[in-house]
Amino acid sequence: MHSFDELLAYFEDNLKEQKFINEPEELYAPISYTLALGGKRIRPVLTLMACDIFGGNYKDALPQAIAIEMFHNFTLIHDDIMDNAPIRRGRATVYKKWSPNIAILSGDTLFAYAYQFAQKADKNIVQDILSVFNKTAIEVCEGQQYDLNFETRNDVSVEEYVKMIRLKTAVLFGASLKIGSIIGGADKDESEKLYNFALNIGLGFQLKDDLLDTFGDESIFGKKTGGDILTNKKTFLFLKALELAEEDTKKQLLKYYSSTEYNDEDKIERVKSIFSKLSVDTITETEIDKYFKDGIKFLESMNISRENKDELYKLAFKMIHRSN
Amino acid sequence: MHSFDELLAYFEDNLKEQKFINEPEELYAPISYTLALGGKRIRPVLTLMACDIFGGNYKDALPQAIAIEMFHNFTLIHDDIMDNAPIRRGRATVYKKWSPNIAILSGDTLFAYAYQFAQKADKNIVQDILSVFNKTAIEVCEGQQYDLNFETRNDVSVEEYVKMIRLKTAVLFGASLKIGSIIGGADKDESEKLYNFALNIGLGFQLKDDLLDTFGDESIFGKKTGGDILTNKKTFLFLKALELAEEDTKKQLLKYYSSTEYNDEDKIERVKSIFSKLSVDTITETEIDKYFKDGIKFLESMNISRENKDELYKLAFKMIHRSN
């Protein structure tokens, strides 16, 4: 099989070929800009990889790999409006660089293009592919809505949080592999196992995001830590801390998350110290490891070669045990 | 064949069956609300009708009729954010009733649902259907972007305006009929003629919108006229007037469209009087009639029964020679 890096290089080369130089320029420039910003490209490579694993020609899965990357970027463009996020991958977000209206509309257009690519498949499997794609698109929207709802709620449980990140983040990893496996010719049972593998790894991936944002080593993480604390984001760490804390500590924590009397450094230090005292960092690590192991169980139960399992294992390990 | 009213009743009954009672409620309530607001439902009925005309069972085109109505409503939800429009069909718009974020996200979700319905077709035609659907979705976005661009431009030509309404409005009428005809089994040539019929009728339909907004009989139109003038909208009437006016009148007109010194009634009267003096109302009527006749030429060239042509003729006549 082909390695992650080989497939990544193939994908990048071909994504570059997609030129959005159409008119009106205001609509297409933000699309080119967003797709060129980069990112890890894990999702599209997963699609190529799954096709490869089941004996398909990975090049046959290119349109769907592009569709998934386009869909992912569409969600980022719209999420950045909703989250008032001025910076993404070190550059101004579309709504900030252009305007919210242009961000809405270029996002919509990118979504339509994603579908244009998604349907480029053999007619015997196109509806299976689109069913996964549609279901996932709807779930990702649901996840984002839960995330928005959580901002104004004070009674979010850890369980609800996990449901939210499953929808907002993990299902797209699942869909990326599942769609690739359909193109590669996998049977339903194997596709489903691969999906569940990715779902668990995706959950671990997101919890790792939460952990790094607060406890990452800044020199490796590549940006300042504490962003989630400063924006009062209800992450796994925060919700777990609330769940574990005694009444006094809980009050303290809620005060830090609602008061403006602390300066940034001070607030981050105080919250981190509560997290550490409650061992929330270790607990999160353990939880991530649990998801990793649950994912690997699905992988091991699959009827594919050792070599293929190892390649997916390596990728899952990299996604979860990363430092940035 | 079945009449417009029969197909409309069938469509309404079946659209009501689509329940969006899923969670999260914040995401699905705006979708139910929007779909229940009504509207003329011309587009989905066109889809059923085209299928019927070519000997298909119109019920087979129901998923695509629903897809098109959902797509149309998705564009309305997003357009209302971009246009700051507080009212649609006499009720608060989604962004106003809920929030811009909820409007963005419920719109996105409705778009994904539209695709979920669009792909419910025989595998031998599903990609033809989706190609039309995708192309149209992208064009509608392009049209809306041109419309947004025009707001801040002072050199929009009548030709550019017609291109904009072709993309924003007419192509969806074309797609509605074309998709229905594919399901009904039409050959490519006939589908194309039907598409061009609808494109012309769609252009006439939009020009009629412009005309009624300024010169409609309020007692029949059902709402106050002059809305486009008050919002300085660059309609066909306005652009035609600029094209025809002498330098002095042109300056006057531009002044009315940029100054805030006139009260509403006064501004409407002054602009209407310029339009009338330049015969812009009659010119628009003539232009509408031209599109109507061009559309009918495509209809007459088709290889379908007299009865079917008459039904489409009646509908086109109703769309164009309406008073509200």
Cβ contact, residue pair B78, A22, below 8 Å: no
B302 neighbors B194 (Cβ within 8 angstroms) = yes
pLDDT of residue B324: 79
Question: What is chain B's length?
Answer: 324
pTM for this one? 0.96
Comparing CB atoms, the residue among B22, B78, B130 nearest residue A104 is B78
| pLDDT for the residue numbered B11 | 98
Q: Give the residue range(s) of CATH 1.10.600.10 domains in chain B.
A: 1-144, 187-324
d(CA A207, CA A291): 10
The two tokens of residue B9 are: 């009743």
Q: Is B73 on the interface with A (CB under 8 A)?
A: no
Determine contact, residues B225/B213, Cβ cutoff 8 Å.
yes
Q: Report the residue from A26, A109, A134 with minimal CB separation from B149.
A: A26
Q: Give me the pLDDT at residue A22, please.
A: 86
What was the ipTM of the complex prediction?
0.96
Classify B58 as helix, strand or coil.
helix
Residues A264, A268, A270, A276: what is their CA dihedral angle, to the nearest 10 degrees?
180
pLDDT of residue A21: 77
What is the interface size between A and B, counted as CB pairs within 8 Å?
120
Sign of CA dihedral A37, A206, B78, B84: negative
Of the candidates B171, B201, B147, B176, the residue with the CA atom closest to the CA atom of residue B53? B176
Whether CATH 3.40.50.2020 fits B1-144? no
Nearest-CA distance A80 → chain B (Å): 11
Tell the CATH topology of B187-324.
Farnesyl Diphosphate Synthase (1.10.600)
User: Is the predicted pLDDT of residue A229 greater than 90, yes or no?
Assistant: yes
pLDDT value at residue A269: 96
Nearest Cα to Cα of residue A224 among A233, A237, A215, A236:
A215
pLDDT digits (tens, 9 = 90+) for B113-165: 999 999 999 999 999 999 999 999 999 999 999 999 999 998 999 999 999 99
pLDDT of residue A222 exceeding 80: no
Residue A324 reports pLDDT greater than 90 = no
Whether the predicted pLDDT of B103 surpasses 90: yes
| Percentage with pLDDT > 90 across chain A | 91
Q: Which residue has the higher pLDDT, B53 or B21?
A: B53
pLDDT(B21) > 80? no
**Mean pLDDT score across all residues of chain A:** 95
Supply the mean pLDDT for chain B. Answer: 95
pLDDT tens readout for residues B49-71: 999 999 999 999 999 999 999 99
Buried b (16+ CB within 10 A) or exposed e, A16-39: eeeebeeebebbbbbbebbbeeee
Give B 115-174 residues with CB within 8 A of chain A. Answer: 115-116, 119, 123-124, 126-127, 130-131, 134-135, 137-138, 141-142, 144-146, 148-149
> Which amino acid, A202?
G
CB atoms within 10 A of CB B310: 12
Can you give the three-state secondary structure of chain A, one letter per residue? Answer: CCCHHHHHHHHHHHHHHCCCCCCCHHHHHHHHHHHHCCCCCHHHHHHHHHHHHCCCCHHHHHHHHHHHHHHHHHHHHHHHHHCCCCEECCEECHHHHCCHHHHHHHHHHHHHHHHHHHCCCCCCCHHHHHHHHHHHHHHHHHHHHHHHHHHCCCCCCHHHHHHHHHHHHHHHHHHHHHHHHHHHCCCHHHHHHHHHHHHHHHHHHHHHHHHHHHHCCHHHHCCCCCHHHHCCCCCHHHHHHHHHCCHHHHHHHHHHHHCCCCCHHHHHHHHHHHHHHCCHHHHHHHHHHHHHHHHHHHHHCCCCCHHHHHHHHHHHHHHHCCCC
